[in-house]
Structure 1
Amino acid sequence: MYKNTLVEIQKFIGLLLLIFIAVSCGLTQDKSASTQVFSDPIAPIGDSSLTIPAAVRPILDVWMRDTYVTYGPDGYYYLTGTTATPGRVFPGQVHCWDYNDGLYLWRSRDLKNWESRGVIWSFDKDAAPWQKKGTPVKPGEKSPNGDPLDSLYRAVWAPELHYIKSQKKWLLIACLNGNNGSFVLESSSGKPEGPYKNIKGNETKAIFDNIDLSFFEDTDGEVYLIGHNHYIAKMKKDLSDIAEPFRAFKETPYESEPYIEGVWLDKHAGKYQLLQTIWSVSHADSTYSYIRDNKKSDKLYSYDVVIAESDHIYGPYGPRYPAILQGGHNNLFKDENGNWWSTTFFNPRGVMGTRFPITCRPAIVPLKWKKDKLMPDAKVADDFYSTLNIK
């Protein structure tokens, strides 16, 4: 009888131990979930120190979205972007939601006077069969702005021109509309004007299956592809293809992630800077945030650049902070004196369409670092644009 009682006691103690472990695990999980960190979604609308300065205006009278500028080793600044086919007759406003003819390039010695270098890549002369085919437009389809569309989706968007210092090569990167992905081109002449050919990784198919692909060359010479909107992959040493599958950055997200685009990666003071573009939304209670409640009262308001920082290229990246209000889908570049700039294009949607008399034109915004955070420099903008004369 004593033996049976002892066994029962042991079973009871074992049961209590199992219950204690289960409860402890549950508490641990709850604590972990409750301490998850999110980025602050509040959009600081009305903050003049973060908004594109009033002095900023087009530096070139060419219809363009997704403006891109870089400073080359030859002392020239190079400019490209998403353009519409010159001479095309539109039933409504100029656009390139359906098709365009290729990629164009301009150069300048002073960021103010720009010289056209013409078409540097075209569908007709340079595209591979998979890039040429396009996707049919369904009858009656319209663009996000309500523009009538033609019969085919076959436009090249968001080009970036990069000089890879470690390889002494010019690479051109862009994406296709119609869900046809992104690709990388290499200049066969060694010059920024090309001609350009597909690298091996996208001779027969897209190297990345989404839009807004970007480049980043690290200080150690390693080169990475940065993919819309949260992805990264290291390239092979010869830049012929990716050396690893795309993986997601480790980020500090918003509690409810919105649609994000226009990704850009840079480095400052030894830390990686991840730039992303997000629409702020105006809510019925007169507040603004980067989280959409999906209510009819929510309206797209401002096309903003937010930044997150990390010690490591793959992350984790800390909380995002708003850096350039109304200046989304940009890239950063340094001028010949090491000063920081951002591109912009005056998005016609949201508040920008009411604020700017001319939209979809290339422009640049001087920047400054203040307490390790990036923001527009209104004083330098005033000085720069006071002497700008568009020809």
Structure 2
Amino acid sequence: MTDMLTKRIKFILLILCLSYCIGCAQNQQDKGQPFSDPRAPIGDSLLTVPSTVKPLLDVWMRDTYVMLGPDGSYYLTGTTASPERKFDGQMHCWDYNDGLYLWRSPDLKHWESMGRIWSFDEDAAAWQKAGKLIKKGTTSLNGDPLDSMYRAVWAPELHYIKSKKKWLLIACLNGNQGSFVLESTSGKPEGPYRNIKGNEQHAIFDNIDLGAFEDDDGQVYLIGHNHYIARMKDDLSDVAEPFKRFKETPYSKEPYIEGVWLTKHHGKYQLLQTVWSVPTSNGQYTYLRKEKPGEQLHSYDVVVAESANIYGPYGPRYPAILEGGHNNLFQDKDGDWWSTVFFNPRGVMGKKFVQTCRPAVVPVKWERNRLKPDRKAAADFYSTINTK
């Protein structure tokens, strides 16, 4: 009995020793983990969307998206509400809308409507049309009364894939119903559009905010909410690999992040993401949220991280465009950079906007390879147009 007891004690001590060593190793790994600085520089006018920026159209829209097409025209889309719908309260699209709309401009100043270019009733597959029932009495994050079902299309992006000479229209469904990719069957940005093979029967990505990125070599990737990437097949019919997470430099406690966007500048990949800032007890602001009901949100900000490899690792994030979240970047005909804006009504910042949920653009620039608003260019641009 004594030998057996001795063996058991030795075994227990060995297990405890191994557990301690593993814990020490893990602690060392955690200590060595680099994190992004979560401080939000609220009040920095050089990083905040300038007050000269105004809505370009009196159209209710979130997630504004603009791109320059190969024909020299600019195209604008975004999350819209059904034009003919009657609302009990404020206009919104938390529950349902009727499809995707497109606008065109020769100069970013004068916009013409191209109408609805994809419709749930006329163009959607069965799984996209089905919708998802809403419990009676449900309200949105803003307190808006919701209708009978979730069947809205959100955050559309229009992409012209140069290497394939194809137009792709990418969007997601509300109610946790995933994202999808459409291709134009006419070779024109206004469509008509059909599902690519990868999402004829189901969502190609199981979350929201899907977009695309075409690299210098013509390879196309899908970029998904809020940290995911997958390379597409050469014919753009489906993904060629499972979605995987970017290698990132996170915050010490990752908050909710959305509105992911990928572009390239000075030969490096630029990963844009949107994070809410919140106040702290010492009068400062941070991107480390408590994620609790009633938490006071402040501003919807764009943060950027850079990498030499598309999959990462991406370096520390830095705040780039305060109050300009869920945006995309594009270059104009002169090669100058712009960002989209939509005046998010949530958070404290929303109270200062004369109008919310309207499409706008803001000139941006790269200083020492870091993104920020171009205040002078914004003042010059908006002084030349009537945005009433």
TM range (shorter): over 0.9
CA contact (8 A) 2:54 2:387 kept: no
Q: Which residue of 2 aligns with 1:275?
A: 272
In structure 2, the residue matched to 1:16 is none
Q: What SS class does the counterpart of residue 299 from structure 2 fall into?
A: strand
* 1:21 Cα deviation from its structure 2 partner: 11
Counterpart mapping for 1:25-104 below 5 A: 29-104=26-101
Which 10-residue stretch deviates more, 142-151 or 287-296?
Answer: 287-296
What corresponds to 2:6 in structure 1?
Answer: none
TM-score scaled by length of structure 2 = 0.93
Using the alignment, how far apart are the partners of 2:134 and 2:258 within structure 1? Answer: 23
CA contact (8 A) 1:282 1:298 kept: no
Give 2:124's aligned residue. 127
* Contact 2:159 2:169 (8 Å CA) reproduced: yes
Partner of 1:317: 314
1:1-391 correspondence runs (5 A):
29-294=26-291, 298-390=295-387
User: Which amino acid in structure 1 is aligned with residue 166 of structure 2?
Assistant: K
Specify the structure having the higher radius of gyration (Cα). 1
RMSD: 1.8
Structure 1 position 27, deviation (Å): 5.9
- Is the 2:139–2:146 Cα contact (8 Å) retained in structure 1? yes
Q: Which deviations, in whole Å up to 9, do the C-alpha atoms of 1:73-126 show, x marking residues without a partner?
A: 001000000000012111100000010000000000000000100010000110
Uncovered stretches (5+) of structure 1, i.e. residues with no partner: 1-18
1:241-297 deviation line (CA, Å, top 9, x unaligned): 000000000000000000000000000010000000000011233221000135678
| Deviation digits for residues 186-239 of structure 1 (CA, Å, limit 9, x no counterpart) | 000000000000000000000000000010000010000001000000000000
Are the equivalent residues in 2 in contact too, given 1:272–1:311 (CA < 8 A)? yes
Aligned amino acid, residue 381 of structure 1? A
CA distance in 2, matches of 1:131, 1:298: 33
Letter in 2 for 1:348: P
CA drift at 1:25: 7.6
User: Match of 2:104, as an amino acid?
Assistant: R
Aligned partners of 1:304 and 1:326 also within 8 Å: yes
Contiguous gaps of at least 5 residues in structure 2: 1-15
Cα distance, 1:30 vs. partner? 4.0
Distance in 2 between the 1:26 and 1:327 partners? 42
Q: Secondary structure at the match of 1:32?
A: helix
Confirm or deny: 8 A CA contact 1:161 1:172 kept in the other structure: yes
| Cα deviation, residue 348, structure 1 | 0.5
Aligned equivalent of 1:6: none
Equivalent residues, number: 374
Change (3 A) 1:34 1:335: same
CA distance in structure 1 between the aligned counterparts of 2:200 and 2:355, rounded to whole angstroms: 38
TM-score, reference length from structure 1: 0.92
For residue 36 of structure 1, report the CA deviation from its aligned partner.
Answer: 1.1
In structure 1, how many angstroms separate the alpha carbons of the residues matched to 2:220 and 2:65?
Answer: 19
- Judge conservation of contact 1:185–1:197 (CA < 8 Å) in 2: yes
Task: Give the partner amino acid of 1:180.
Answer: Q
Residue type of the partner of 1:265?
L
